[in-house]
Amino acid sequence: MELPIKIKTNWDVDLHVHNKWSLDIPNGPKAEDYMEFAEKNKIHIGFLDHYEVLYQKKNLECPFEDKKWVPINTFAGDNWNKYLEELDDLKNNYSFVSTGLEIDYASDDEGELSDFIKEYGSTFDFFVGTLHELERFRPVTLVSDLRALIKKHGSFKAIVEIYFDLQEKMIKSGLFTAIAHIDTIYRYCGSIIPHEDKFQNSEYGGYTQRVIELCIENDIWIEYNLSGFRYSVNRPFPPEEMVKKNSSAKWFVGSDCHTIPTFNKFVPNIKKANALLRSLQN
C-alpha cells in the first residue's frame, strides 16, 4: 500500500479511530489513550473524528419526535482551537500518528464543505468523505432512523438506491480524495434487514461495485472498514471478496473504533486486513 501518509516500515495502519471529540462519543476516550497499545502492536493510528459542517455551526432543532439522540456542536466556543492544539501535541510526541476528519457529505453543503477543506487542508494529514444521513437527523447507521426511512420510502431497496445516488454525487463532487465505509447501509442486514446474502448478488452488490469503479476512475482512496464485525452483517465494508475483485483500487484499513476495548479487541482484524491489502500489491 503506497499510502499518502508516511508510515513506519513494517507497521500496520488503522486510519480510522475516534476519540472524545467525535460528536457521537463526547464522553469517549482521549486520543492519547490509544497510544500505548498502538505502539505495542506496531499500528500507525489515524484519527478521523466526525465533522459535520452544519451541525458544527449551531445546534439545530430536530423535527422528529421519535429521536432520542441528535448531533451536538462538539467544537463550540474555543473547543476547535483546543482540538487543534491537542492534535499538534499528539503528533509532536508520537511518530505513528496521523490526523484527519471524517467529513459528512450533503449535496446542499458542497460550497461550505469546499471552503472548509480549502481552509484546513494543510492543517490535517487527510480528509475522508462519508455518508450517514439520507436527510437531516436520519442516519442509516441508527436502527430507529433506518426503520423510519424504510417506512417513509416504502422499502429497504428504495433507500439503498437513494444512498448510493448520494455516494456517486459525493465522489463526483471532487471534494474528497478518500471515502469511508462505502456500503455501511447494509450494517443491519441479518437483523432488521433479512437476507444478508443479498448484498452479494447483482441487485445489492452491484451498487457497491459501481461506487468502487467510480473511485477507481476518480483516483479516490477507499476504506476497507472493519466496523461491520460489530453488527449483524458481520463483515467489513465492503466485503473481502469485493476488495480482492478490485485489487487495482487504492485501499486503506480503518477499524472505526470508538472505544479502547474495541480497538484492543480488533487488533487481529486490523493486522489481517493489512496483510490482505499488502497481498493485493504482490
Q: What is the pLDDT of residues 64-78, one digit of tens each?
A: 888 877 777 788 888
The C-alpha cell that represents 91 in the structure block: 503528533
Question: What does the alpha-carbon distance between residue 199 and residue 204 come to, in Å, rounded to a whole number?
Answer: 5
Q: Let me know: does 73 contact 58? Beta carbons within 8 Å.
A: yes
Q: What confidence score (pLDDT) does residue 67 get?
A: 85
Pairing verdict, β 133-135 and 138-139: antiparallel
Long-range pairs for 191-200: beta carbons < 8 A, 24 or more residues apart: 191/231, 191/232, 192/143, 192/146, 192/147, 193/146, 193/156, 196/232, 196/233, 199/233, 199/239, 200/239, 200/241
Q: Let me know: does 131 contact 99? Beta carbons within 8 Å.
A: no
Q: Let me know: does 273 contact 16? Beta carbons within 8 Å.
A: no
Question: What does the alpha-carbon distance between residue 224 and residue 251 come to, in Å, rounded to a whole number?
Answer: 6
Q: Which domains does the chain have, with CATH numbers?
A: 17-280 (3.20.20.140)
Q: What confidence score (pLDDT) does residue 197 get?
A: 53
Q: Let me know: does 96 contact 11? Beta carbons within 8 Å.
A: yes
pTM (two decimals): 0.94
Q: What confidence score (pLDDT) does residue 18 get?
A: 97
Residue with cell 449535496: 107
Q: What is the pLDDT of residues 110-152, one digit of tens each?
A: 999 999 999 999 999 999 999 999 998 899 999 999 999 999 9
Q: Which residues of the chain have pLDDT under 50?
A: 1
